[in-house]
Amino acid sequence: MNAWYGLILWGEAAGDPALRNLGIYLYTTELAAIEEYWFDVGGTNFPPEYPASAVTMVWGGKGANGTWFSAKPVMVHGINWLPITPGSLYLGRYPRYVKKNYDALVAETGGPRWDAWADLVWMYWALADPADALRQFEAGEKTSAPEDGNSRANIYHWIHTLGAYGGVDRTVTADCPLYAVFRQAGRRTYVAYNMGARPLAVRFSDGTQVTAPPKAFGIKRAG
């Protein structure tokens, strides 16, 4: 997903719609596979006897819950999340599943005690409960080093953004690729980024319009 997100950004920045659209196709196709085969967000694909909340290795004839490098539950779960960037907002499309995945991790570790990758857990959990994620972050960030591809600034910004705007609203889309919609207590926040040199009018599927200035975000709160 990180690769395809990078391709979308590259194509958009270079003004190459074919490259951008290739990235969009790969990103959305991969997203569908993740939600069905890695996470089973709808609860229709995993066999009833499969005990875990996610699959971390998928072969042609089987799926498994583990990694090649560690048996730590936090790494078995976290390998499906990292790296967490703006392109990772798809992880929050089904907040009930986020809670299911997080609760399984808590049960496997005997409580919210993270012996690695605490930052990834906080960021993932923020997609469902940003207030509790912020509490954990403030309690543990001084004694927990971020995962090698992460930073404290990224953790802070991610958690506080979700706390301010709410969770991901997957029911609203837009006619530009660099957008997000959040929902909190019935109020939506619409965000679009414009890489171009002129103002960009973005139309969302619920009829909302946002104008993003050149090289900047356009943000509108409604409801």
Alpha-helical runs (H) found in the chain: 2-14, 17-33, 73-78, 95-109, 118-126, 130-140, 152-165
Which two tokens mark 201?
């009018």
Q: Which residues of the chain have pLDDT under 50?
A: none
Q: How far apart are CA 6 and CA 204, in angstroms?
A: 23
Q: How far apart are CA 1 and CA 23, in angstroms?
A: 10
With a pLDDT cut of 70, the percent of the chain lying above it is: 100
User: Tell me, what's the pLDDT at 131?
Assistant: 97
User: Tell me, what's the pLDDT at 63?
Assistant: 87
User: Tell me, what's the pLDDT at 107?
Assistant: 96
User: Tell me, what's the pLDDT at 64?
Assistant: 87
Domain coordinates of the chain in residue numbers?
Answer: 39-168, 179-222
pTM recorded for the entire structure? 0.95
